[in-house]
Amino acid sequence: MYQVRKSIRERSYHEVEEIIKIEMKNPLFQTPTFKQFLLWHKGICTYYIQADIEKAMSLMQEALNLSETGNNAYSEREIEILNSIAILHSEVGQHKRAIETLEKAMVHLENLSCKKDVHIEIRLLYSLAKFLSFEEAYADSIQHCERGSKLCLQYESFYLYGELTFQHGYNLMKLGQKKEAIVYFCKARSIFQLQNNSDFVSYIDEEMSYLS
């Protein structure tokens, strides 16, 4: 499961697909918990490898249907599945549906009595910020960037901190606040340099070139 999550973050979808093919036959992965995990990631791979959005969504819904808590109270994993569904909606241009799905996920997260993974809320806030930017709701997006960044600082985590900082700057740029945008871009660039994320550093350099 760790290897699957790691490969998904690295966008190694073919590698994940091979792991799933093997583990789907493994008797240890026939429990609802493990089967849900495999169906979720099979859905992700189905979209990014086959570009089959309907099949991908069907697999993720099948994974959600294995919920042991019911539709009124999702677990952390099921909230993560909702985040994946929202991302796929956005990938095909359905940004409003993506935002609605994430708002539903946030409600479920707020209703959880015990939160084990502090990164889930940060992930949802970043996704919301990004999709709101797509809808040109830049001020609303900034609010989610600020909430996500505060959580990063609270938990002393770099997880998505650079992305949230960049998104904040991007929104400011779109609002015509160029000087303020450069401050956030420079801050994000420093974070990505520390993380050895050369691709994002280059992307920020490109965005900043439009402001000079």
Q: 137-151 pLDDT, tens per residue?
A: 999 999 999 999 999
The reported pTM is: 0.91
* Residue-level pLDDT at 67: 81
The whole-chain average pLDDT of the chain stands at 93
| Alpha carbons 185 and 168: distance in angstroms, whole number | 8
Is the pLDDT at 60 greater than 70, yes or no?
yes
Q: What is the pLDDT of residue 69?
A: 65
Residue 21, amino acid: K
Confidence (pLDDT) at 154: 95
Residues 6+ apart with CB under 8 A from 93: none
Helix 76-91 and helix 32-50, axial crossing angle in degrees, nearest 10 = 10
- pLDDT > 90? residue 103: yes
Q: What phi and psi, each to the nearest 5 degrees, are found at residue 31?
A: -75, 155
Statement: residue 96 has pLDDT above 90: yes
Instruction: With a cut of 80, say whether residue 70 has pLDDT above it.
Output: no
Does the pLDDT value for residue 20 go beyond 80? yes
How many alpha carbons fall within 13 Å on the CB side of residue 165?
A: 22
Closest CA to 42 of 73, 66, 75: 66
Task: Kindly tell me if the per-residue pLDDT of 208 is higher than 70.
Answer: yes
Hey, what are 10's tokens? 């690295």
Q: Determine which helix (DSSP H) or strand (DSSP E) holds 126, and give its type and residue range.
A: helix 119-134
